[in-house]
Structure 1
Amino acid sequence: MLSDLDVRHDRGDQHLPRARPEARGIVPRFKLTIEYAGTRYSGWQIQANARTVQGEIDHAIREVTRRREFELYGAGRTDAGVHALAQVAHLELYTDLPPAVLRSRINDALAADIHIRQIEKVPHRFHARHDAVSRSYLYQIARRKTAFFKPYVWWIKEPLDLARVRDAAAAFVGMKNFASFTADEPGEKSTRVLIEGLELAEDGALLLLRIQGSHFLWRMVRRIVGVLAAVGRGDLTVGQAAGFLDERSGIPAALTAPASGLFLERVMYAGDSGPGPLRGVFRVE
């Protein structure tokens, strides 16, 4: 986690030199909406000696446009194995290609597990991360073994008490201290985060959890899911789960849910509606 959102929003810039204004005027800026299966990648952000989603898109843009100077900046940095249904990035790039043509050509240059859903021209001041007002994550728990969807779920064999999970989830909503739920170094940044909602729904053999908030700390989403699953199994009480918000504990780290079930679902900006109905990425009966 959006690591998953585990998205590590405050760890500096995201690579690449800014494009220089061209002789013909201001360099255009585009908003990209991107979906990807994160299984084969070491997260979103470009890393040395690792295959990443941003790195693959960067390479495709260079191949298509033959340009070397541009800015590609994501709204969130998903960790290795984490997926996205609608990651957002801004691209500052001088090109004469219309957005639809640029999108088509970049997609042709990308692997099948990364897809640019939309490219639209935006005002030059638009910033994918700084202008985002809310983000939502979807986590999929499978309650039966599935032969087809293992990379996109966490299979929990034990029965889960959903009433207990819902009771525990309520404690996480609001402005809370998530110091026990982050892998960031102590004191590196504020651990207080506003969680706007935490929804649960059953969809066939899937248990779906949606967490929506202003921003997220490194591995925060997966640790919340892991703690809620432990409550559902009966390994923790509702009170113990809530107590991790009051006193720092290493237990949430030990219970971190796997990356496979996590999706960056939506990044929202001023004027956007909410993430919509809660439903699975696919149907498991």
Structure 2
Amino acid sequence: MLSHSPVKAVLTSLALVLCLSLAANAQTAAALPTSAPMAEDTSRVYNSVEKMPEFPGGTDALYQYLNSNFQYPASLPHDNTATTMLFSFTVGATGKVHDVVKVKGVHPTVDAAFTRVLQTMPAWIPGEQNGKVRRVKFTLPYQVAGTPLPQETAIEEKIYVATEVAPAFPGGKKALTNFLKKNFKPTVQFADKEMEGSIVLSLVLNKDGSIRKEETKVLKGLGYGIDERMIEVVNSLPSFSPAKQNGENVVFKTVLPIRLDVHGYVKEVLEGAQK
């Protein structure tokens, strides 16, 4: 009977070589680095998405908000011809509005006042693309009922910093301090800093004693969003008794220094404010 041992030996050797080859290839494949998925570009700003950003309540609510919060600057002479502004801004992934840009303005003073209104809008419902929220650029037209008069026809306005009769807040400095204490709330970011300090604002009072909101400026601030919040509260103050010069009401510019405690609440109105 013939022996098949040599044939079996050859087959066994071939099988062993094949197994070793397959194992080596598997180890090589495992050693190769796998390509990581590309990270999503969260910095991209879309011009158009499947679901565009929306102001809470829709378009009607948006223009109602704008009409309620934007005031044509009283200091700017104008006619009654309607004109349209065009602004763009980015609605972020959280709905917050930022990067406000004037595309077509009316006048620097008007443009600045409208920019502030846009910057303080409540959060929008963010846009979506492929089921994910996206940063989206939004363009907004807005019509104002007035076209600024040419510079040469505008009457130069005199603003006083000292007068025979100074403007006065109803109830005096104590009432002014109480109003600010009641209505001003610090931002969380500032309160966490536990940093005592002062905010100094510049105010312009119209001839009737009302605050010219578009000209309220920060001369010395503390940051962390607290300066902007203070401007909002100060602009909501009731009218002062007007300043008078030669028996007539005049426009008056004053300074309002406000000290905050370590938690960011109003502590007192300092000397320098009109009494």
Q: Bin the TM-score by the shorter chain.
A: under 0.3
Structure number with greater Rg is 2
Could you state the TM-score of these two structures normalised by the residue count of structure 1?
0.25
Could you state the TM-score of these two structures normalised by the residue count of structure 2?
0.26
Structure (1 or 2) with the greater helix fraction: 2
